[in-house]
Structure formats: C-alpha cells, structure tokens
C-alpha cells in the first residue's frame, strides 16, 4: 500500500451508501492504512473507550454524520468530550451532512471541537482541505 496520511480513520454514518462512498474515496486516495466503518455511535464510543490504553488503535480522524437515529452527531461530540483527554486529543473530527452548514457548526469549528464540515458526499477537493488543516495543526 502506498504511504498513507493516517494509520487509521473511522466513518460513523447510518447510511450504507455514504459509508461506501466515503470509504472508497479514502482508500482510493491513500488517506489511511485502515478505515473502520460504524453505523452505530454507541459502538464507536465503546471502541474508543476500550482502547484508552492503546492509543495506536484509535482512529486519527473521524468522519461523523450529523443526522442519525438513536444518537446523532452532536450527541456523539458531547460524549467524546467526556472521554479522557488522550482520546479527545488523538481523534480529530470532520462533520459530514446532507444539510447546509449552520452557525452551530461554525462555533464548533471556532472552538476547535471539529476540524471542519463538509456536505456529503466527500470529494477529493474536500480531502485536500482536510489534509491542509491537519498540516497547519501539526505545525503549531
């Protein structure tokens, strides 16, 4: 496999089509060595907490859908904030949605809770923006 930008990324989306499309663009562009796909936020949160003592198993980037049944993307962000700092600092979050960007999302970006927001489906251009943001963060 070619050199990848991340060792592991995760996708949390309840829609199988968007899961497939997001994973495909990540794989096709060598973004991560491993792409984990979740359709249930509670399973993702449990996996993150379970790997607290082995941070290498955590995804470095999480593509998070906003609109999901049971527990939505905003509720996932609230739960992530309750996890130990080692997890919060390792897992960067990118919000994905079919809905338009809102002021609430802009505030999350300003506060550094999420890297950015993109409309579905994720594009190659979006990936370039994400990589640019991550590079800038790394140089701070």
pLDDT at 69 (0 to 100): 85
The helix (H) or strand (E) run that includes residue 117 is: strand 116-119
pLDDT at 43 (0 to 100): 94
CATH number listed for the domain at residues 10-97+116-127: 3.40.50.2300
pLDDT at 140 (0 to 100): 66
pLDDT at 2 (0 to 100): 56
Question: What is the distance between the alpha carbons of residues 86 and 3, in angstroms, rounded to a whole number?
Answer: 25
Q: What is the pLDDT of residues 76-100, one digit of tens each?
A: 999 999 999 989 889 999 999 988 7
pLDDT at 70 (0 to 100): 84
Q: Which residues of the chain have pLDDT under 70?
A: 1-2, 140
């Amino acid at each position: 496999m070619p050199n990848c930008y991340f060792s592991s990324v995760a996708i949390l989306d309840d829609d199988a089509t968007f899961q497939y499309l997001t994973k495909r663009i990540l794989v096709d562009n060598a973004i991560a060595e491993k792409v984990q796909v979740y359709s249930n936020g509670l399973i993702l949160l449990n996996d993150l907490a379970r790997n607290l003592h082995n941070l290498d198993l955590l995804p470095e980037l999480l593509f998070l859908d906003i609109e999901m049944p049971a527990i939505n993307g905003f509720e996932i962000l609230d739960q992530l904030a309750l996890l130990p700092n080692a997890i919060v600092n390792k897992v960067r979050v990118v919000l994905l949605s079919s809905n338009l960007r809102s002021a609430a999302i802009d505030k999350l970006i300003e506060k550094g809770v999420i890297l950015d927001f993109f409309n579905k489906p994720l594009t190659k251009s979006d990936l370039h923006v994400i990589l640019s943001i991550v590079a800038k963060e790394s140089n701070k």
